Amino acid sequence: MLERGDTYDGTCAGFRWRVPERYNIGADICDKWAGEPDRLALIYKRASGIAGPAVENYTFHDLSRLSNKLANALTAHGAARGDRIAILLPQAPETAISHIAAYKLGAIAVPLFTLFGAEALEYRLSDSGAAVLIADRNGLAKIAEIRARLPALKLVLCIDGPGEGALGFHEELARARDSYTPADTLAEDPALIIYTSGTTGPPKGALHAQRVLLGHLPGVEFPQEFFPQAGDLFWTPADWAWIGGLIDVLLPAWHHGVPVLAHRFAKFDPEEAFRLMADFGVRNAFMPPTALKMMRGVENPRSRFAYDLRSMGSGGETLGEGLLAWGRETFGLTINEFYGQTECNLVIANCAGIMPVKPGSMGRAVPGHRVAIVDETGAPLPPGDHGNIAVARPDPVMFLKYWNNPEATVEKFAGDWLLTGDTGSQDAQGYFHFAGRQDDVITSGGYRIGPGEIEDCLLKHPSVAMAAAVGVPDALRTERVKAFVVLRPGHEASDALAGELQNHVKTRLAAHEYPREIAFIDALPMTATGKIIRRALRERGAKH
């Protein structure tokens, strides 16, 4: 969709949205390429310890046939247009097949992170009203204890075979027909719910339309230096359960018929990341800043690994001048920073090929998007003024609404401006500079973590009377989660209790959300209206 101009202004001037009235993601990313039987779509490198060939290749023809089988199998079990289909899987062929089938069916995919604990999964499955869950054996174990509290969940498929109340994913595919006519969906029809963390209360489900993929394309093509080019091959260590892995990499690559490498480390290994990109000829990558910071510690990578990347993007945290300089030296390219959020993604970016990159800046508005700094009423502010980073509607990449939360949807907008909740400024040249968050979301290791869910989990422990979670500075992760805890009478602070509380959160929510520090205090700082003064806790946490 994005045609290269000689300059940023020229590229913007030549851009036009082309969003048809009727559009289906599944047909677009798969079936339109299936007529080329040898066209490579996916290279799957299994993690060590997982049964099966070390590397498997899938063509678009393969994915079309397998997703058709799954769509037919789901239909045979009563799944229908509009049903929510939850996908609790890592980067794997079955994950992609499940997404394609859900879109073809006209259903709504609900990606879920494999590190979520039972409590986090129960909330999302219950709130979405998921009728179908597709998981592996590890996911089934988490679901077993909560399934009785999920009356909407009618069908569970397991990619590791039948058992524990689940049918076998591959066994069901083996019995199904491999031809299927995708639903004739409108571009505005719902297709995807991705849960995003907020500051208070439970996570919110951002509902996206089929058009969300088309809306993402300029924001992928721009920081990836006018992707695609001949020979491109895309990879990210980011999980496909998040918008960064799913719609910053997987789906847009397949829209363009570009192969994707699927491999996610159980624990990110920076040396193996270099080796992986070299072994498979990766040309394009989305690398979270935390991964880059870890890779920066690898000695002499250029002399040890024969990688040859053409483009690299990064987002989620601001890249400093030092990391940009390391990127140029290590990869022979400029890492293009980009910005967005689950509700409205990839709207600001750098593209070093046609514009200067300013260290510390997120870049300029991606062609096709109207981004501004506005005040609380939605009035645009002049260059240099500090305010809310906002995106004008309508916009093809913008979410439809928060699932089951009309009040939060209304609060997200000031007039026709979507308020990101982040603050910053725009300079005279149009570059945006991130300042901070209006909310209290914690950015740690590339994840956005809402303190409300952590606090709710801590409060369920019998020793905890009150709890507040904040982010404190961390050289590697940007922030780490620190929890301040007030104990109930009869309980005493100890290292053992701190460890117990950490494990309580880790096993119920997710490993990346647990508080890496626990501070026991007598009382939380409160406003006159009873709200926690998180700023005071962040300041206190930063000093200790």
**CATH number of the domain encompassing residue 40:** 3.40.50.12780
**pLDDT at residue number 395:** 98
Shared-domain flag, residues 453 and 421: no
Q: Give, for 276, the enclosing helix (H) or strand (E).
A: helix 270-279
**pLDDT at residue number 112:** 97
Span 239-251, average pLDDT? 95
Alpha carbon distances (Å) from 98 to 243, 327, 471: 16, 35, 35
**For residues 61 and 34, is the Cβ–Cβ distance under 8 A?**
yes
Alpha carbon distances (Å) from 353 to 17, 224, 226, 285: 22, 10, 9, 16
Q: Is residue 96's pLDDT more than 50?
A: yes
**For residues 407 and 342, is the Cβ–Cβ distance under 8 A?**
no
Shared-domain flag, residues 223 and 285: yes
Number of domains making up the chain: 3
**pLDDT at residue number 527:** 62
Average pLDDT along the chain: 93
Q: DSSP per residue over 45-87, as a string?
A: EPPTT-SS-SEEEEEHHHHHHHHHHHHHHHHHTT--TT-EEEE
End-to-end CA distance of the chain: 50
**For residues 153 and 147, is the Cβ–Cβ distance under 8 A?**
yes
Shared-domain flag, residues 263 and 148: no
Rounded Cα distance, 98 and 192, in Å: 12
Alpha carbon distances (Å) from 17 to 13, 14, 367, 368: 12, 10, 10, 7
**For residues 512 and 449, is the Cβ–Cβ distance under 8 A?**
yes
Shared-domain flag, residues 457 and 322: no
Residues near 46 by Cβ (< 8 Å), separated by ≥ 6? 52, 53, 54, 55, 56, 263
Q: Is residue 246's pLDDT more than 90?
A: yes
Which structural domain range is residue 313 located in?
Answer: 211-439
User: Could you tell me the pLDDT band of residue 209, with boundaries at 50, 70 and 90?
Assistant: very high
**For residues 320 and 346, is the Cβ–Cβ distance under 8 A?**
no
Span 229-245, average pLDDT? 95
Q: Indicate the burial class of 490 (C-beta count within 10 angstroms; 0-12, 13-18, 19 or more).
A: exposed
At 39, is the secondary structure helix, strand, or coil? Answer: coil
**pLDDT at residue number 297:** 86
**What pTM does this model have?**
0.88
**pLDDT at residue number 481:** 94
The answer to the question of residue 397 being in a domain is yes
Span 103-109, average pLDDT? 98
**For residues 133 and 125, is the Cβ–Cβ distance under 8 A?**
yes
Shared-domain flag, residues 377 and 392: yes
The answer to the question of residue 2 being in a domain is no
Last-in-domain residue among 157, 176, 208? 208
Shared-domain flag, residues 130 and 191: yes
The answer to the question of residue 127 being in a domain is yes
**pLDDT at residue number 510:** 87
The answer to the question of residue 10 being in a domain is no
Q: DSSP per residue over 462-492, as a string?
A: TTEEEEEEEEEEETTTEEEEEEEEEEPTT--
**For residues 250 and 121, is the Cβ–Cβ distance under 8 A?**
no
CATH number of the domain where residue 494 is located: 3.30.300.30
**pLDDT at residue number 199:** 44
Alpha carbon distances (Å) from 465 to 137, 179, 246, 454, 537: 36, 57, 39, 14, 17
Q: Give, for 271, the enclosing helix (H) or strand (E).
A: helix 270-279
The answer to the question of residue 3 being in a domain is no
Last-in-domain residue among 376, 405, 439? 439
The answer to the question of residue 264 being in a domain is yes
User: Could you tell me the pLDDT band of residue 396, with boundaries at 50, 70 and 90?
Assistant: very high
**pLDDT at residue number 49:** 67
Shared-domain flag, residues 510 and 411: no
**E-assigned strand segments in 360-455:** 364-365, 371-374, 387-392, 401-402, 413-414, 417-426, 432-437, 442-444, 447-449
DSSP percent split of the chain into helix, strand, coil, nearest 5 = 30, 25, 45
Q: Is residue 97's pLDDT more than 60?
A: yes
444-485 confidence digits (pLDDT tens): 888 878 787 888 789 889 999 888 899 999 988 889 999 999
Q: Is residue 283's pLDDT more than 90?
A: yes
The answer to the question of residue 1 being in a domain is no
424-454 confidence digits (pLDDT tens): 999 999 999 987 777 677 888 888 787 878 8
The answer to the question of residue 6 being in a domain is no
**For residues 111 and 246, is the Cβ–Cβ distance under 8 A?**
yes
Closest CA to 319 of 342, 287, 343: 287
**For residues 425 and 387, is the Cβ–Cβ distance under 8 A?**
yes
74-89 confidence digits (pLDDT tens): 999 999 999 999 999 9
Shared-domain flag, residues 348 and 248: yes
Q: Is residue 200's pLDDT more than 70?
A: no
Rounded Cα distance, 456 and 260, in Å: 38
27-67 confidence digits (pLDDT tens): 999 999 999 999 999 999 998 767 678 999 999 999 999 99
**E-assigned strand segments in 198-266:** 204-209, 234-235, 260-262
Q: Is residue 228's pLDDT more than 80?
A: yes
Shared-domain flag, residues 200 and 215: no
Q: Looking at 99-113, 367-381, 524-538, which range is the least confident one?
A: 524-538
**pLDDT at residue number 445:** 85
Shared-domain flag, residues 73 and 158: yes
Q: Is residue 506's pLDDT more than 60?
A: yes
Last-in-domain residue among 394, 409, 439? 439
- Cross-strand bridge partners of residue 484: 468, 519
Q: What is the CA radius of gyration of the chain?
A: 23
336-380 confidence digits (pLDDT tens): 999 999 999 999 999 999 999 998 899 999 999 999 999 999 999
Kindly list the strands in the beta sheet with 401-402, ordered across the sheet, starting from the edge strand earlier in the chain: 167-168, 155-158, 132-135, 84-88, 108-111, 190-196, 204-209, 401-402
**For residues 441 and 458, is the Cβ–Cβ distance under 8 A?**
no
Rounded Cα distance, 455 and 199, in Å: 10
Shared-domain flag, residues 98 and 172: yes
Neighbours of 494 (CB within 10 A): 10
**For residues 174 and 93, is the Cβ–Cβ distance under 8 A?**
no
In the DSSP assignment, the letter for residue 32 is G
Neighbours of 211 (CB within 10 A): 24
Tokens of 193: 């719910």
Alpha carbon distances (Å) from 238 to 246, 316, 393: 8, 11, 28
Residues near 269 by Cβ (< 8 Å), separated by ≥ 6? none
Q: What is the dihedral of CA 397, 398, 399, 400, to 10 degrees?
A: -110
Q: Is residue 262's pLDDT more than 50?
A: yes
Q: What count of Cα atoms within 13 Å lies in the side-chain half-sphere of residue 358? A: 15
Span 166-174, average pLDDT? 98
**Buried b / exposed e across 422-458, counting CB within 10 Å, b at 16+?**
bbbbbeeebbbbbeebebbbbbbbbbbbbbbbbbbbb
Span 292-306, average pLDDT? 92
Backbone φ and ψ for 99, nearest 5 degrees, come out as -60, -50
| pLDDT higher at 543 or 265 | 265
Shared-domain flag, residues 23 and 140: yes
Residues near 299 by Cβ (< 8 Å), separated by ≥ 6? none
Backbone φ and ψ for 143, nearest 5 degrees, come out as -75, -30
